[in-house]
Amino acid sequence: MDAIHAPLNPVWAGIHCRCPRCGEGKLFAGFLTLAKACSRCGLDYNFADPADGPAFFVMSGVGIVVIAWFAWLEVAVHPPVWVHFATTFPMLIGGCLIALRPVKAWLVASQYVNKAEEGRFESIGKHGEGGFAFDRRKASGD
């Protein structure tokens, strides 16, 4: 970890949408667009690539909760369909929009804390014995 900054909890950094190193600089430049670097400590955010992770987790989590609401409402009250349009759809859309930023920030912070990156194939120099190798020097940041 960095000598100047104490390690942050990725969940805390995610909920507050802050830099995973210093916890002070903003992580986002737009709604879901990451800033190029931290405005406080200068951490370059090029390492950050959560890909479809935030969308998957938010879709799954919000979907389960809202569909449970939908099913309960339908079975218990059996309301007209406009009630579902007035309650279920706004809950789906609003829940996803509210949760996307902190979940993306949490995943970026987790990438930083765990030094996660794509796996690489690396030859060990002998024909037929090459394979997946873990480069400890790059993983430790030295």
Closest approach of Zn ion to the CB of residue 21, in Å:
5
Which is nearer to Zn ion, 58 or 109 (by Cβ)? 109
The CA distance from 105 to 53, in Å, is 11
Which is nearer to Zn ion, 35 or 59 (by Cβ)? 35
Closest approach of Zn ion to the CB of residue 71, in Å:
43
Site for Zn ion in 17-56 (CB under 5 A): 19, 21-22, 25, 38, 40-41, 43
Which is nearer to Zn ion, 22 or 66 (by Cβ)? 22
Q: How far is CA 85 from CA 74, 90, 111, in A?
A: 12, 8, 38
**DSSP letter at 45?**
G
Closest approach of Zn ion to the CB of residue 67, in Å:
38
Which is nearer to Zn ion, 38 or 92 (by Cβ)? 38
Closest approach of Zn ion to the CB of residue 9, in Å:
15
The CA distance from 44 to 110, in Å, is 15
The CA distance from 19 to 12, in Å, is 10
- DSSP of 5-17: SPPPPHHHHHHHT
Binding site for Zn ion (CB under 5 A): 19, 21-22, 25, 38, 40-41, 43
